Amino acid sequence: MDNTNYRCFAPCPRGLEALLLRELTALGATDLRQTEGGVGFSGPLAAIYRANLESRIASRILLEVAQVPYRNEQDIYAAASAVSWPRWFTPARTIKVKTSAQHCPLKSLDFVTLRIKDAVCDTFTKLTGTRPSVNSNRPDIRIDAFLDATHLTLYLGTTGDSLFKRGFRQSTVEAPLRENLAAGLIQLAGWNGTTPLLDPLCGGGTIPLEAAMMARNIPPGLGRRFAFELFANFNPALWKTVQAQAQAKQLPASPAPIYASDQDAQAVRTATDQFLRAGVASDIALTHTDLFDLTPPQEPGIIVMNPPYGVRLGTQGDLDVFYPKLGSWLKTRCVGWRVYLFTGDLRAPKLIGLAPTKRTPLFNGAIECRLYEFLIVQGGARRRLTQPAQG
């Protein structure tokens, strides 16, 4: 029985760290340490398995295997050589080493990466007479190295493919929103599954899909495999228990209606496919409708949308036309709704003609963005959303 309390780090999209800390606390992690871009925590194997299976916000779960001071590349080689790598995986597994740094005084991160790889392979050669192969595209085992000005930290990736890859997306649309960022937007909007939610610019359906999974307590990692399943200390019985506990919390249907629409027929087909694969198609009313022809449902709730900001629409001129029209649509058709607009165009509130009641800085990859909250208090009549899905 492995009773070790492991030190871990969970990176996430910048701006969502507080949400991730709250989530990991609920999943049984301890000794939580929030930093820019992620949360450090401690926990037994069950907590690592649970975080991979149930975290909606984390990008991956990294298990710390060493943290040591360094001054040069030889120190790094020595530190990597001191780790008992065969404790974690066999030489039959393929590996990849990835290095990142902040304020690192060394000249070449590529050379650092090479030295760590050499140390891992040399360790196996000395102890077993054979060494793992490198696979840069789809490795079995990913080793992450992080260097600050004085210390090297080595991690084993327990996740494999990033956690935002839920396993449902078979096709994609232009500039898709990552799933963990979409989940963060929904949580920042305060939606708890008890009031209607609408995404009128749903693209491939990421926001409504994440909302449906949240409303029904469906574990986001249920449909995929994880790197920890290849570790030497993998505990299949414990993993089955963690999966069963998570599945026992699922609800048969969303407690509140979820609406989604898009003007692009291919996007609607992609969204439909994702909803079916995730088992939530019956929870989402999806329509093929242009935003400006759409009237929200009569019962107000929360609108969460990710309108184009120079990625899906090519020019500033396009946006200069689009955003004022969006503002008119919100004012005339969305009375009583709370609107959360996620955009990298910081001119959006001015162009829309509405004053945000809240603005939350976030990052979509390297793009600085804002999640704006608007409370719509003036406008005209509404009718129920009844347009049939097409395409």
Which tens digit of pLDDT belongs to each residue from 347-381? 999 999 999 999 999 999 999 999 999 999 964 33
197 and 309 inside one domain: yes
Can you tell me the mean pLDDT for 25-42? 97
What percent helix, strand, coil does the chain show, rounded to 5? Answer: 35, 20, 45
Q: Within a 10 A sphere around the Cβ of 120, how many other Cβ atoms?
A: 24
Q: Is the pLDDT of residue 133 over 50?
A: yes
Predicted model pTM: 0.92
**Local confidence band at 167 (pLDDT 50, 70, 90 cut-offs):** confident
**Local confidence band at 4 (pLDDT 50, 70, 90 cut-offs):** very high
Euclidean distance between CA atoms 53 and 224, whole angstroms: 9
191 and 103 inside one domain: no
328 φ/ψ angles, rounded to the nearest 5 degrees: -65, -40
User: Does residue 308 lie in a domain region?
Assistant: yes
| Those residues with Cβ within 8 angstroms of residue 71's Cβ, 6 or more apart along the chain or in another chain | none
| Closest by CA position to 257, among listed 225, 287, 293, 224 | 287
Task: Count the alpha carbons within 13 Å of 354 in the hemisphere toward its beta carbon.
Answer: 29
CATH number of the domain where residue 51 is located: 3.30.2130.30
Euclidean distance between CA atoms 244 and 196, whole angstroms: 29
CATH number of the domain where residue 369 is located: 3.40.50.150
User: Does residue 136 lie in a domain region?
Assistant: yes
291 and 194 inside one domain: yes
- pLDDT single digits (tens) 193-227: 999 999 999 999 999 999 999 999 999 999 899 99
In the chain, count H helices and then E strands: 10, 14
pLDDT at 175: 60
151 and 183 inside one domain: no
Three-class SS state of 95: strand
pLDDT at 176: 75
273 and 192 inside one domain: yes
Q: Within a 10 A sphere around the Cβ of 321, how many other Cβ atoms?
A: 12
Structural contact between residues 109 and 116, judged by C-beta atoms closer than 8 angstroms:
no
126 and 200 inside one domain: no
Q: Kindly state the DSSP code that residue 351 receives in the 8-state scheme.
A: H
User: Does residue 387 lie in a domain region?
Assistant: no
Strands 258-262 and 284-288: parallel
62 and 209 inside one domain: no
186 and 152 inside one domain: no
Structural contact between residues 251 and 215, judged by C-beta atoms closer than 8 angstroms:
yes
Q: Is 293 buried (19+), middle (13-18) or exposed (0-12) by CB count in 10 A?
A: exposed
Can you tell me the mean pLDDT for 54-61? 98
124 and 185 inside one domain: no
Can you tell me the mean pLDDT for 179-188? 98
Q: Is 244 buried (19+), middle (13-18) or exposed (0-12) by CB count in 10 A?
A: exposed
**Local confidence band at 174 (pLDDT 50, 70, 90 cut-offs):** low
For helices 206-215 and 179-188, angle between their N-to-C axes, nearest 10 degrees? 60
- pLDDT single digits (tens) 298-339: 999 999 999 976 544 557 778 889 999 999 999 999 999 999
| Those residues with Cβ within 8 angstroms of residue 255's Cβ, 6 or more apart along the chain or in another chain | 193, 194, 215
User: Does residue 170 lie in a domain region?
Assistant: no
212 and 110 inside one domain: no
124 and 192 inside one domain: no
- pLDDT single digits (tens) 256-273: 999 999 999 999 999 999
**Local confidence band at 387 (pLDDT 50, 70, 90 cut-offs):** very low
pLDDT at 319: 85
pLDDT at 314: 55
Percent of the chain with pLDDT over 90: 88
Tally of domains within the chain: 2
User: Does residue 300 lie in a domain region?
Assistant: yes
pLDDT at 1: 61
User: Does residue 367 lie in a domain region?
Assistant: yes
pLDDT at 391: 38
Range of the structural domain that residue 367 is part of: 179-216+252-375
**Mean pLDDT value across the chain:** 93
26 and 131 inside one domain: yes
pLDDT at 3: 81
User: Does residue 234 lie in a domain region?
Assistant: no
User: Does residue 210 lie in a domain region?
Assistant: yes
Euclidean distance between CA atoms 68 and 79, whole angstroms: 7
